[in-house]
């Protein structure tokens, strides 16, 4: 798939990697929890990321960090819908709703969102597939082993890429069976979601190195490595880096992902990522 329509914009995925700026309006996200809980702070941050080069703003009202507990549908709606409503009226930049709940997705789309980002790949709420099919918006299906509350408690794989591929084949089949069109589907291998890191086992690095095997499935790929735990484990030989000190590793992971075929990058640091992509796209465009 070369083109994708998100909201009122058409993007040519053969020419650029799209940057999805992360806007967590939650008190407990692993990196920026509590920073953008207020309406004014959230709108300000969204506009800042747009100015810095974000192609899409991904708004989430429920943390999916390791150990996170779910929030109610009502709480999630109260967190995200006012932001989406205001932002969609003030900018033409496409908005993504980061949710696994059908009603949250429906209201978000009704208020201006044009993309659904579901970390459960249509498994948590059986009605979500109906909403995506009805509204014909793109959806990102992510691989996660377990749930946020338990996904990092001793995850294991015989072969991580093979398991992710099999998972995607099943979830794509489910989506297509329920009248979601092939051109709506994006896949995310779920960097940091139920993946092993530390003690010499780095599933996330394996995934980044072998993205081409996931691209063989025939769908665009999203990669969200920004500030994840494996970066903190790897990038300093003397100590584990906190999320606030993982910029360089995040940029390195983003560059590797693009060079291995990623079509979307989901990031916290839009300006820095955009500058890296400008250089990579120049290099890759040289004959």
Residues recognised as catalytic: 228, 266
Q: What are the structure tokens assigned to 120, written together?
A: 């459960």
Alpha helices, DSSP H only, in 112-241? 128-135, 160-177, 203-209, 211-215, 229-234
Parallel, antiparallel or unpaired: strands 3-6 and 9-12: antiparallel
Say how many CA atoms lie within 13 Å of 128 toward its Cβ: 27
223: which strand partners?
A: 265
Quick one: CA dihedral 31, 35, 40, 45, positive or negative?
negative
Classify residue 82 by burial, with Cβ atoms within 10 Å: 0-12, 13-18, 19+: middle
Q: Return the C-alpha torsion angle 199, 204, 205, 207, nearest 10.
A: 140
């Amino acid at each position: 798939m070369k083109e994708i329509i998100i909201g009122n914009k058409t993007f040519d995925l053969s020419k650029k990697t799209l940057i999805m700026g992360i806007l967590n309006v939650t008190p407990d996200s692993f990196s920026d929890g509590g920073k953008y809980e207020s309406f004014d702070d959230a709108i300000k941050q969204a506009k800042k990321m747009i100015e810095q080069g974000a192609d899409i703003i991904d708004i989430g009202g429920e943390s999916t960090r390791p150990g996170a507990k779910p929030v109610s549908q009502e709480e999630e709606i109260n967190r995200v819908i006012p932001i989406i409503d205001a932002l969609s009226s003030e900018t033409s930049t496409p908005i993504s709703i980061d949710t696994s709940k059908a009603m949250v997705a429906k209201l978000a789309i009704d208020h201006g969102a044009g993309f659904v980002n579901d970390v459960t790949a249509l498994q948590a709420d059986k009605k979500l597939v109906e909403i995506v099919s009805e509204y014909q918006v793109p959806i990102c299906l992510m691989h996660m082993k377990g749930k946020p509350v338990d996904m990092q408690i001793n995850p294991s794989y015989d072969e991580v890429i093979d398991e992710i591929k099999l998972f995607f084949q099943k979830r794509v089949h489910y989506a297509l069976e329920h009248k979601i069109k092939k051109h709506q589907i994006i896949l995310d291998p779920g960097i940091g979601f139920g993946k092993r890191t530390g003690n010499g086992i780095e599933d996330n690095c394996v995934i980044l190195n072998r993205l081409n095997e996931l691209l063989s499935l025939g769908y665009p790929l999203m990669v969200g490595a920004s500030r994840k735990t494996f970066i903190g484990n790897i990038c300093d030989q003397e100590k584990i880096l906190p999320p606030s000190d993982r910029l360089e590793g995040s940029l390195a992971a983003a560059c590797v992902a693009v060079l291995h075929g990623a079509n979307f990058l989901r990031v916290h640091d839009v300006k820095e990522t955009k500058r890296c992509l400008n250089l990579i796209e120049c290099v890759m465009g040289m004959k």
